[in-house]
Each structure stands twice: as structure tokens, then as C-alpha cells.
């Protein structure tokens, strides 16, 4: 039965959007929602306000308080501007960077944000064309700005758009600024408080100088220039999947020395409709299908893809049968960090003061590699703002020499190789993977064989991530109920192996089931994540997504192998165990 109280509240809120404070197009769309007999769309558009969370905004585009539109973007920008003016009141000038990706309405939203910042007396550096998200982070630091935003919904479906806010270190905002900005945004109670009328004198368009500076700084990361020179003709297929990567990644690969970059012309077309894919997510095999086909057609060695805002990387390599296989996010993360540690060791650049960062849901195998090579590893929550926070802390490391950042990433296909950016970066990641392919070739291996040898030396690991989508208000309630059930009825075994440790990051407590004692978890804040660890090394993590209507499950199983020849059997046994764990989770 329809909730009449909720429907009345929704209609009352929608009627406010029919006043002259809103433009004609918006009023027309809202009236259409009110006139529909089926009230589902009306309720979804108005049952709540689109929340400015700790990562900014993300939602379906359209009219309504729970949608991405000029008014929700306007309120977010006005709130951020109000906070900046308070926080940096002592500065003679407050400066921000504004960038955007390929999505429908991204440019419009970026220009609206630039107008509002300028109307509030804030100097705006506006990218006149779409650019990768990591370049916005880079520009904030390079231009010594106090903040910045990028209009993007990353790899979400085409109906979505979003708004990511950054602080003066180029990282997404964290405490206390995140909560303080949210409070300022929530104070905006009327569109009349939003200063839409721009001050053009305060809006400065950026040019190619910032692109060239970014690429030149990225070139300093290379550890194998001679290998690149010897293997500069490696055939690399690259696709931006209709996104911003096309503006920089081919150029950066060529600047690094690679001469054989093969495009997928249909996917070089910039489009927020993503016409050649169902989803522009490089985590999904279907998104790389055309690139793999192009690689087979051209005899290429390596396939790389970036998502719409070019902060995530997907990749495919040839296996020992010469067939293309997709690397998952844990595998690319493992390959990246292994290379950066081992290559530094070869060059005599490991001093014992280096560190890497991974997220808690990423493979535990990385911890084994780091420990064996004398590199400190930090575990953080999902989200690059937490990796950036570790970087910030270590730059200010007081007990001796500041630690040296080697690299950091997450299983969801994000990696950061450089310290002069504070968000995941597929530009540097594509450059790094191409370099690794050249270095592996110099050592008589393919990238696939390199991964196999990592498994032989450090242990085999198989991971599976499963996302269960639950749309809308009812979906959010169902996800909440699932998390409550897992807490109320904790798992006691994983595929026949006894659970020996449980971590609940919502309470920041861990339970050692062998010693029957509780321990505190040293994390900067709480997070709605549960983790189970079993005797045989199996790990399960459960968390609701912070940006999509999903609950995510991460399964990892471990074993030991003595040679490459044993890997096929290990893979088969691991797949069976993963399936058993999946069934026990009821997904």
C-alpha cells in the first residue's frame, strides 16, 4: 500500500520546484512527474535531497531534489564556496580548479560551478575541455589552489553524473573539512541563496601548458628507460571507452617512448552515451571486448583501457597459449607494486624507508611481497582519499626522515604511481603498465609469465568481487537489512575453514576467535565494512558501495605453488573454493 504521508511530502517538495525560482525546463519536467498516474518516478526524484557526502555528489541526472541538476550542483558549489571563504578568510585570494569529463551535462555543470565560485569572489581555473580527473588533482597542487572540483560519475551508467570535491593538497576532502562542507551545503535552504550570476573577470581558462607540465612530471617516474628503448615497438591497443583518456594517454605513451599505439576508432569518439558499450566500466570484460578484438586483429601484445574520467585502468595480456586474458584489479595492483619494489631494489633505490598503500579489501598477497622486500605497507579504507591521507601523514613524518611513497592502489582498478597527484590515475598507470611490459620482455618474459612467477615466489591468490545491485529507496533499506543480518549472525567458517578473526569497522573492533578476545582497530574513522578471516587464508569482505546502489562482496582464497606448472590446478581448486564461499554468503 502506498505511503500517503511520504507521497504528500514528496508532492509538497515538488510543488516548490514549480515556482519562478526554477527555470522553465525544470518546471515542465517536474509537472510531468506530478501528472503521471504512477508516482514511482516522482517519489524517487523527491523522496530525499541528493546528499553531499564525503566524496561529493553522485546521482541520476534529472529534475528533482534527489537528482543531479543545475540546482543540486549549485547548492553544492555555494556551500563549498561559503566554507572556503570561512576557512581561508586570511588569504588575499582564494583559488579553485574546475574540470569535467565526457558525460552528458558535465560541461554545463562545470560552467555553472565556475560561475558560482566567481560570483562568490573566488578565482577559478577552468579547463575549457574535458580532462582526466587526476589532472585536476595535479592542477590544484601545481597552481597552489585551495580547492577544486571535477564533474564526473566515474564508471557509473550513462544516466549518472557526479561532483567530486578536492582540498588544497589535491586529495578528496576528509575530516574535518568533509563534515564542515556538508554542513555548509545543508544550510542552503533556498535556490535564492545560490549566486548563479558569474564574474567573468575571475574565470581563467587553462591551456595546454598544464597538460605538458603533467606529462613531463609523469616521465620522471620511469625506472626502465633502456628497456623501453629496446622494446619501443611493442604493440599496445588503447581505448578511452569514449572518455577523457583520449586527451592525454596516447600522448603520454608516445612521450615515454612507445611508438606503436593502436586505437579503437569507434571508442575514441567522446560521448556521454557510451554507444559501443553497455557500461563504460573497465572492470567488466564487455567494456574491453572491442579493444581485445583489435589486439587480435593487429597482433598486439597488450590491451589497456581507461574509464570515462580516466582514473581507472583495465588491462588484458596474452597468456601462455597466446590468448588474451583480462587482469583483475588485484592482479594489476600486485603487478604494479611488485615491479616498483623489485625494480627499485635492482637499481639500489630501496633504502628501507619506503612504503606502499592498499585498501583493506585488496589482496593480502601484497602484504607478503612488501614484507619480504622490506617495504612498509599501510592498509586503508576503500577510496583514494584514504591513500592520499597516508601520503599526507608520511610527508610530515616527524620521527626521522619522511617516508618515500612507492605506490598505492585498490582492487577496483585504481592505482597511483606518483606523489604529485592525490587521486587514482590511469594516465600514469597506462604508462607504468607499458613500461612493465618492456621490462618483462627485457627479462625474457611476458606480463602474464611475470604474474605467474610472483605467484610461485609469494603464494597464489584468487579473488572474486561480486556486486549485488539494489535500486532506489527499497534497495537501500534491503542493503541495510543485509548488513544487520551479517552482524547478528556472523559466519563461523569459509568453505570448510574455520573463521579465526572478524573485523567490524563500523565499531572499530576485531574479534580474535582463537584467543577469544576483542581488539581495537586503528583506523581514522568508522566505516560500514565487515571482514572474516579463516585459518587457511581465505578472506571475505562485505560493504555497501558509497557511490552506487550496491552491496559488495570480496572473496579471496590462498594457496602455495612450487612452479608455473602447478598454477592450473591451483586455479581450478581456488575457483571451486570461491564458489563454495559465494554460496554460503547466499549470493
CA proximity to 262, closest of 417, 134, 434: 434
Strands across the sheet containing 95-100: 57-60, 160-167, 147-151, 95-100, 123-126, 203-205
Number of Cβ within a 10 Å radius of residue 130: 25
| C-alpha cell belonging to residue 156 | 557509473
DSSP conformation class of 469:
E
| C-alpha cell belonging to residue 107 | 560541461
Dist CA 341 CA 368 (whole Å): 12
Percent helix, strand, coil in the chain (nearest 5)? 40, 20, 35
End-to-end, the C-alpha distance of the chain in Å comes to 29
Residue 61 CA to its chain's centroid (Å) = 20
Dist CA 184 CA 568 (whole Å): 56
In sequence order, what are the beta bridge partners of 316? Answer: 303, 326
Dist CA 259 CA 80 (whole Å): 44
Distances 165 to 50, 83, 124, 181 between C-alpha atoms, Å: 15, 12, 14, 10
Backbone dihedral region for residue 62 (phi beyond 0: left; psi -120 to 50: alpha; all else: beta): left
With contact defined as beta carbons under 8 Å apart, do 544 and 505 qualify? no
Backbone dihedral region for residue 121 (phi beyond 0: left; psi -120 to 50: alpha; all else: beta): left
DSSP conformation class of 277:
-
With contact defined as beta carbons under 8 Å apart, do 150 and 164 qualify? yes
- No. of H helices and E strands in the chain? 19, 23
Q: Give me the catalytic one of 65, 154, 527, 541.
A: 154
With contact defined as beta carbons under 8 Å apart, do 441 and 528 qualify? no
With contact defined as beta carbons under 8 Å apart, do 369 and 358 qualify? no
In this structure, the strands spanning 550-559 and 517-520 are unpaired
Known catalytic residue: 271? Answer: no
Distances 439 to 119, 242, 342, 562 between C-alpha atoms, Å: 51, 30, 11, 24
With contact defined as beta carbons under 8 Å apart, do 334 and 454 qualify? yes
Q: Sign (positive/negative) of CA torsion 78, 180, 312, 336?
A: positive
Dist CA 456 CA 437 (whole Å): 19
Q: Residue 278 burial (CB < 10 Å; 0-12/13-18/19+)?
A: exposed
Dist CA 25 CA 17 (whole Å): 11
Distances 430 to 252, 253, 439, 458 between C-alpha atoms, Å: 9, 8, 14, 25
Dist CA 38 CA 223 (whole Å): 60
In sequence order, what are the beta bridge partners of 356? Answer: 377, 407
With contact defined as beta carbons under 8 Å apart, do 402 and 223 qualify? no
Active site residues: 154
Amino acid at each position: 500500500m502506498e505511503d500517503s504521508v511520504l507521497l504528500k511530502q514528496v508532492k509538497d517538495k515538488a510543488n516548490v520546484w514549480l515556482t519562478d525560482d526554477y527555470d522553465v525546463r525544470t518546471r515542465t519536467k517536474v509537472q510531468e512527474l506530478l501528472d503521471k498516474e504512477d508516482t514511482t518516478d516522482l517519489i524517487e526524484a523527491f523522496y530525499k535531497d541528493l546528499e553531499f557526502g564525503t566524496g561529493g555528489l553522485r546521482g541520476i541526472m534529472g529534475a528533482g531534489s534527489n537528482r543531479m541538476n543545475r540546482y543540486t550542483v549549485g547548492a553544492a558549489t555555494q556551500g563549498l564556496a561559503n566554507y572556503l571563504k570561512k576557512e581561508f578568510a586570511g588569504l588575499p585570494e582564494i583559488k579553485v580548479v574546475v574540470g569535467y569529463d565526457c558525460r552528458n551535462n558535465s560541461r554545463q555543470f562545470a560552467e555553472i560551478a565556475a560561475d558560482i565560485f566567481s560570483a562568490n569572489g573566488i578565482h577559478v581555473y577552468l579547463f575549457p575541455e574535458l580532462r582526466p580527473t587526476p589532472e585536476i588533482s595535479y592542477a590544484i597542487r601545481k597552481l597552489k589552489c585551495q580547492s577544486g572540483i571535477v564533474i564526473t560519475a566515474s564508471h557509473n551508467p550513462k544516466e549518472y553524473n557526479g561532483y567530486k570535491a578536492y582540498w588544497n593538497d589535491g586529495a578528496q576532502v576528509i575530516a574535518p573539512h568533509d563534515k564542515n562542507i556538508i554542513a555548509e551545503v545543508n544550510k542552503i535552504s533556498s535556490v535564492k541563496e545560490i549566486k548563479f550570476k558569474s564574474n567573468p573577470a575571475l574565470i581563467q581558462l587553462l591551456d595546454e601548458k598544464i597538460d605538458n607540465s603533467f606529462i613531463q612530471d609523469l616521465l620522471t617516474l620511469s625506472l626502465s628507460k633502456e628497456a623501453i628503448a629496446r622494446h619501443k615497438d611493442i604493440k599496445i591497443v588503447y581505448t578511452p571507452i569514449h572518455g577523457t583518456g583520449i586527451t592525454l594517454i596516447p600522448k603520454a605513451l608516445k612521450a615515454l617512448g612507445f611508438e606503436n599505439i593502436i586505437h579503437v576508432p569507434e571508442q575514441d569518439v567522446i560521448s556521454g552515451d557510451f554507444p559501443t558499450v553497455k557500461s563504460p566500466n573497465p572492470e567488466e570484460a564487455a567494456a574491453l571486448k572491442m579493444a581485445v578484438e583489435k589486439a587480435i586483429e593487429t597482433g598486439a601484445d597488450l590491451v589497456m583501457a581507461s574509464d570515462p574520467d580516466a582514473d581507472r585502468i583495465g588491462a588484458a595480456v596474452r597468456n601462455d597459449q597466446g590468448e588474451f586474458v583480462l587482469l583483475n584489479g588485484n592482479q594489476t595492483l600486485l603487478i604494479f607494486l611488485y615491479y616498483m619494489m623489485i625494480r627499485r631494489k635492482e637499481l639500489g633505490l630501496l633504502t628501507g624507508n619506503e612504503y606502499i598503500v592498499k585498501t583493506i579489501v585488496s589482496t593480502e598477497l601484497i602484504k607478503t611481497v612488501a614484507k619480504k622486500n622490506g617495504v612498509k605497507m599501510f592498509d586503508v579504507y576503500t577510496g583514494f582519499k584514504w591513500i592520499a591521507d597516508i601520503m599526507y601523514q608520511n610527508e610530515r613524518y616527524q620521527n626521522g626522515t619522511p617516508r618515500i611513497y612507492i605506490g598505492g592502489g585498490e582492487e577496483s582498478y585504481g592505482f597511483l604511481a606518483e606523489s604529485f597527484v592525490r587521486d587514482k590515475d590511469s594516465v600514469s598507470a597506462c604508462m607504468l603498465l607499458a613500461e612493465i611490459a618492456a621490462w618483462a620482455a627485457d627479462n625474457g618474459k611476458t606480463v602474464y609469465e611475470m604474474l605467474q612467477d610472483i605467484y610461485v615466489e609469494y603464494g597464489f591468490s584468487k579473488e572474486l568481487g561480486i556486486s549485488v545491485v539494489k535500486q532506489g529507496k527499497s534497495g537501500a533499506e534491503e542493503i541495510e537489512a543485509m548488513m544487520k543480518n551479517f552482524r547478528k549472525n556472523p559466519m563461523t567458517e569459509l568453505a570448510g575453514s574455520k573463521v579465526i578473526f572478524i573485523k567490524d569497522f563500523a565499531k572499530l573492533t576485531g574479534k580474535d576467535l582463537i584467543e577469544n578476545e576483542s581488539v581495537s582497530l586503528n583506523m581514522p574513522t568508522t566505516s560500514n565494512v565487515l571482514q572474516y578471516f579463516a585459518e587457511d587464508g581465505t578472506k571475505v569482505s562485505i560493504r555497501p558501495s558509497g557511490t552506487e546502489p550496491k552491496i559488495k562482496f570480496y572473496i579471496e582464497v590462498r594457496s602455495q605453488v612450487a612452479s608455473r606448472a602447478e598454477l592450473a590446478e591451483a586455479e581450478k581448486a581456488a575457483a571451486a573454493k570461491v564458489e563454495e564461499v559465494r554460496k554460503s554468503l547466499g549470493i
